[in-house]
Amino acid sequence: MVLFLIVIIIAIVLGIIGFVAHGLLYLLIIGAVLLVIDLLFLGWRWRRSGRTAQR
């Protein structure tokens, strides 16, 4: 969970820097892509952990 939060913070910081510095638009794009990938990974982990073992 700590790794998830660190990646979220990095994505937000990259997005802010990319938005403020007009020449660094690619940082905004990288931050947005990183955020989406991290949210998809979190959703995948939550869905996978919800399964119960079948006997």
pLDDT tens for 3-53 read 778 888 888 888 788 778 777 777 778 878 888 888 888 888 777 766 655
Burial state string for 4-42 with b = 16 or more CB within 10 A and e = fewer than 16: eeebeeebeebbeebeeeeeeeebbebbeebbeebeeee
At 39 the pLDDT is 85
Cβ pair 8, 35 in contact under 8 A: yes
Q: What is the pLDDT of residue 53?
A: 57
Instruction: Specify the pTM.
Output: 0.61
* Per-residue pLDDT at 54: 63
- In the DSSP assignment, the letter for residue 53 is -
Q: Give me the pLDDT at residue 35, please.
A: 83
Is 2 buried (19+), middle (13-18) or exposed (0-12) by CB count in 10 A? exposed
